[in-house]
A and B are shown apart, each in its own frame.
Chain A
Amino acid sequence: MTTDLRFPTPPSHEGAEALRHEVRDFLANVLVDRSSLRRADSWNGFDRDFSRKLGQRGWLGMTWPKKYGGHERSAYERYVVMEETLAAGAPVASHWIADRQSGPSLLKYGTEAQKEAILPGIAAGETVFCIGMSEPDSGSDLAATRTRATPVDGGWNVTGTKLWTTGAHQADYMILFCRTSGSPADRQAGTSQLLVDLKTTTGITIRPIIDLAGQHHFNEVHFEDAFLPSGALIGSEGAGWEQVMSELAFERSGPERFLSSMQLLIELVGALQDASSEAAELALGRLTAHLVTLRRLSRGVAAMLEAGANPGTHAAIVKDLGATFEQDLPDIARSLIDAEPDAASTSDFVAVLAHITMNAPSFSLRGGTREILRGIIARGLGLR
């Protein structure tokens, strides 16, 4: 039983460390003027220009076949680019979702036409995706989806509402999870995934939802008799649940699941240079041991992905441990440095502390709540 929960040894690749330095040099150059506060917002930093530059370097769609604009490199090389990008606080919002999950999902389940049309744009850093999963009455309970695509002549007629859709107002496409047959009582059965062109499809209204930090990332996406062509279906009709679970394993597997507070940890190390104490050393020692271990676990998941294994349970463990680590950080920082958190402060530490404090609740919500993840782990242990 527990042997199944062992994490494989992280892969290593000749040239990965050279790549790491190449990425670091690139980022140091491109991000030279980026403030600490903006670096702390790495995930939400939307910058098409930056994504395009990554694409030009060949650092998006890295593991995909060359014929779809990919570079046929290893999962570990991709991992190196991802973690260096996040640790530097680069603005990743315009490519992250597409590179991490929408692209891989299309590669796995998409039609040839979809792959040819979409994947090269993602690999070039041009095409932005959002995820149409949550709904007003369907958050953790994804199978309760009420958005419905009804088969009509030549395609689908979609009506329903998606909620908390990150980046929908800036995205080019959405992968929509919805019901295509049966009723909500059928649960997972009768659900499908559809590719939605947000720029050309009529009948879609996108309204902003402001989060508690005052920022606009979330949206409500309302479909009213929106027509999607039959070529919009991803994979098989009725196989949506299986596909979406596979997509979520991609979503939960990466280093973003423990690096959200990285800028705060960096600023804390900086702030402690003049305010050290044994308590600070003990706290930093503990945090650092956690971080090194999380990296190893996360790279183990990359090894599983590379081997074609399903890392669903392992990814849930990394995300659960990672979110706890990220969320503990602001309080640990507050216990070591006197500061009233203020995003407008001229002190990088104080500004970043404010930002992370305000955003921390989301760390154990997005991409699957802590409770859902622990349910998945319990299933992996054979309890459910």
Chain B
Amino acid sequence: MELTEVGAMLADTAERLFTAHAEEIDRAAHEGVWPEAAWAAIEESGLPLALVPEAQGGFGVPPREALMLIRQSGRHALALPLAETMIGNAALAAAGLSLAKGPVGLADSANARVPWGRHAKTIVLGDDVGVQRHVGLDVSTQGTNIAGHPRDQIAAPAEQPSSAGAVPVLALGALARALQMAGALERVLEMTVEHVSSRVQFGRPLAKFQAIQQELAKLAGEVAAASAAADHAADAYASGAEDLTFAIAVARTRIGEAASKAAAIAHQLHGAIGFTREHALHRFTTALWAWRDEYGTQRHWTLIVGKRALSAGRDGYWPMVVAA
């Protein structure tokens, strides 16, 4: 994809920040603390506003390219609520509410487990009624997902702010996870290729064994499918597709399956080395296992696609697939 100047600049900035602060972010995630300096640098860079239209305080990066930043964060298994903050700000802007201060806790219902809820300065809640912007809410129950990322229950607000707009926050959160998974899967493939190329057994690199090559080819297929499915949903968002939610449902259904299959192959090919806390692979695979069921589970999104397929009927099925 050819990037605009502003898009390329943001992508460079993001890569530099994700790499420079990787250690701090990783350590903070392990110790359950907030990486103050890393987040401050990310906020300073303007990344949290990348999905906001220029007229509402963004800086004119095309939406398709802004979404690539979320994918890029997935390539680093970034343990920060950057995707949530980008989506949260976009939802606030779409609903005509003022933008968030600090990291956003993005919630698709009042009793959702909110990513990084304890660190969020603004809670953006979007449901069927509309979008609400909350500040100063307390965490009622702290928890984590299986990647060890905070997932917290938020206490009910003392008074309800008014709801605005009709923004599909659940679907947009799901889109973020789809993109993050596609990015993480790409990195998992690279790591696995690197590992089998350098690890020598029986006197030759693992990569020279046909059994290994066949498994890697399967892994590459799943990663390619996930990548295409994420692109499909991102294109639907950028083009203002009428049925954005369905495109996201398709993407999440396919990418969730790819995440399961790819993580299994990657671990098999990494052997015991990849099953340690010390090796980086688990940061990606545990995130994939968690992400495939966040902002709607695998089952939730698959059922949406299945019901649509069934209701299209025998003669309407193929036209429905083409229009999806």
Interface on A for B, CB 8 Å cutoff?
1-2, 5-7, 9, 20, 83, 87, 262, 265-267, 269-270, 272-273, 276, 278, 280-297, 300, 314, 317, 320-321, 371, 373-375, 377-378, 380-384
Contact = CB atoms under 8 A, between A and B. Distances in A.
Given A292-B250, A374-B214, A375-B217, A285 B309 contact: yes
A384 B229 contact: no
Interface string B263-305: 0000000000000000000000000000000000001011111
B229 A374 contact: no
Most buried by B among A272, A317, A320: A317
B303 A278 contact: yes
Given A286-B302, A288-B250, A374-B214, A262 B318 contact: yes
A375 B251 CA distance: 28
A5 B228 contact: no
Interface residues of B, number: 52
A88 to B, nearest CB: 8
B217 A291 contact: no
Contacts of A320: 217-218, 221
A284 B310 contact: yes
B303 A285 contact: yes
Nearest to A295: B321
Interface in B300-316: 301-310, 312-314
A285 B221 contact: no
A2 B188 CA distance: 10
Contact of B314 (A5, A6, A270): A270
12 contacts: A5-B220, A270-B314, A285-B304, A286-B305, A288-B250, A292-B229, A297-B225, A320-B218, A374-B217, A374-B218, A382-B193, A383-B213
A7 B212 CA distance: 24
Nearest to B320: A288
B306 A288 contact: yes
Contacts of A262: 318
B224 A297 contact: yes
Most buried by B among A7, A284, A290, A375: A284
B197 interface: yes
Pairs of residues from A and B, 10 with the lowest C-beta to C-beta distance, nearest first: A285-B306, A270-B314, A281-B306, A374-B217, A289-B253, A285-B305, A378-B213, A377-B217, A285-B302, A289-B254
A20 B301 CA distance: 29
Contacts of A265: 317
Contacts, number: 163
Interface in B239-265: 249-251, 253-254, 257
A6 B306 contact: no
B47 interface: no
A377 B213 CA distance: 8
Contacts of B221: 317, 320-321, 377
A295 B308 CA distance: 18
Contacts of B257: 286, 289
Contacts of A284: 305-306, 309-310
Interface of B: 1, 186, 189-190, 193, 196-197, 207-208, 210, 212-214, 216-218, 220-221, 223-225, 227-229, 231-232, 235, 249-251, 253-254, 257, 299, 301-310, 312-314, 317-318, 321-322, 324
A159 to B, nearest CB: 34
Contacts of A283: 306
Contacts of A1: 190, 193
B204 to A, nearest CB: 12
Contacts of B207: 378, 383-384
Nearest to B222: A321
Nearest to B301: A285
Contact of B193 (A267, A291, A383): A383
B42 to A, nearest CB: 24
A281 B4 CA distance: 41
A21 to B, nearest CB: 10
Contact of A381 (B193, B254, B299, B314): B193
Contacts of A380: 220
Contacts of A273: 310, 313-314
B197 A383 contact: yes
B224 A5 contact: yes
A281 B216 contact: no
Given A2-B223, A286-B302, A293-B229, A280 B310 contact: yes
A269 B250 contact: no
A269 B302 contact: no
Contacts of B225: 290, 293-294, 297, 321
B187 to A, nearest CB: 8
A291 B323 CA distance: 12
Contact of A296 (B197, B229, B249): B229
Contacts of A297: 224-225, 228
Nearest to A320: B221
B189 A2 contact: yes
Given A2-B189, A383-B196, A289 B213 contact: no
A281 B303 contact: yes
Contacts of B308: 288
Contacts of A286: 253, 257, 302, 305-306
B228 A377 contact: no
A320 B1 CA distance: 25
Most buried by B among A2, A265, A266, A294: A2
B224 A266 contact: no
A382 B231 CA distance: 25
A284 B303 CA distance: 8
Given A2-B186, A280-B306, A296-B232, A7 B224 contact: yes
